[in-house]
Amino acid sequence: MAMREWKTFLIPYKQAVEELKVKFRSIRTEYRRKNEYSPIEFVTGRVKEISSMLEKANKFDIPLDRIEYEMEDIAGIRIMCQFVDDIQKVVELIRQRNDMEIMYEKDYIANVKVSGYRSYHVVIKYPVNMAQGRVDILAEFQIRTLAMNFWATIEHSLNYKYKHDIPEAIKYKLKGAADSAFQLDQQMLEIKDEIKDAQKLFEVKSNIVSDIMNNILILSSIGKSIESVRYQSQLNKLIEEGEVFELNNLLSATEKTIEMFK
């Protein structure tokens, strides 16, 4: 394929990566708007480098005109989770969708790779609507925890540095690091519930505070500066250590005052 053809070939893949990033980032946004815990921490995506495609095609003896059918990670989406048990929730989110079709799944968490690599892979068929009509492409999700991602990112960059010939001593250390990452995930899972409660409480409180601030602004804009100053100073006292019920009381007080002056 000439360079120009590569560029055309990659258009639907670029499109797919952009769309899938938006779709899965929106899920996170939706959870947050609803004040719910999101199993998705962040989402990244990339179209495979041409050099990396050629290398892989060589390694697996894929003829260039078969690449689109046999190379499933030209479009790659990575979904990072805080906790190991979020991964299955994300897989479930993918299974439920009707804008993509799952081709197969690879569980490198139950079946850790020899390198120490852990992640859950889901390969999908995804329709892209192009100017000339619908094109179905393959795309790969890699779903992993932050610890798995940390390890994989560094191991991947070492692979580049050593051109896939990592010295045994370093491989050994990477294995040890993979074990540590695994331990870290286990420990985090144990304190997860505690963390989740704290995060949720923070979200709840910051929403009430923002509602109170809105009401204070309304009071000040309708000329009730004495009230607005008074509520502002009450809010300042609660902002650090205030309990949810105290913030809620202040919120209803501001609401009642606004009602009164309407």
Catalytic site residues?
A: 140
Q: How far is the CB of 210 from ligand 0O2 (least distance, A)?
A: 18
Q: How far is the CB of 11 from ligand 0O2 (least distance, A)?
A: 17
Token pair in block for residue 25: 């980032």
Rounded to the nearest 10°, the torsion over CA 164, 166, 171, 174 is: -70
In the block, tokens 């990566």 appear at 17
Count H helices, E strands: the chain?
Answer: 8, 5
In the block, tokens 């509602």 appear at 211
Q: How far is the CB of 43 from ligand 0O2 (least distance, A)?
A: 7
DSSP 65-106: GGHHHH-TTSEEEEEEESSHHHHHHHHHHHHH-SSSEEEEEE
**Which span (41-49, 91-99, 237-245, 250-258) binds ligand 0O2, by CB under 6 A?**
41-49
21 counts as binding ligand 0O2 under rule CB under 6 A: yes
With CB under 6 A as the contact rule, the residue among 20, 147, 152, 251 that binds ligand 0O2 is: 152
**Which span (44-52, 62-70, 95-103, 195-203) binds ligand 0O2, by CB under 6 A?**
44-52
144 counts as binding ligand 0O2 under rule CB under 6 A: no
Which of 180, 126, 125 lies closest to 151 in space, CA to CA? 180
Between residues 100 and 212, which has the closer beta carbon with respect to ligand 0O2? 100
**For residues 153-172, which are near ligand 0O2 according to CB under 6 A?**
155-156
With CB under 6 A as the contact rule, the residue among 73, 86, 185, 227 that binds ligand 0O2 is: 73
Token pair in block for residue 228: 């607005």
Distance CA 210, CA 251 (A): 10
**Which span (37-45, 86-94, 127-135, 204-212) binds ligand 0O2, by CB under 6 A?**
37-45
The DSSP output letter for 134 is E
**For residues 104-143, which are near ligand 0O2 according to CB under 6 A?**
106, 113, 115, 117, 121
31 counts as binding ligand 0O2 under rule CB under 6 A: no
Pairing of strands 120-130, 42-47: unpaired
139, 127 Cβ separation under 8 angstroms: no
Q: How far is the CB of 221 from ligand 0O2 (least distance, A)?
A: 31
Binding site for ligand 0O2 (CB under 6 A): 21, 41-42, 44-45, 48, 52, 56, 73, 106, 113, 115, 117, 121, 152, 155-156
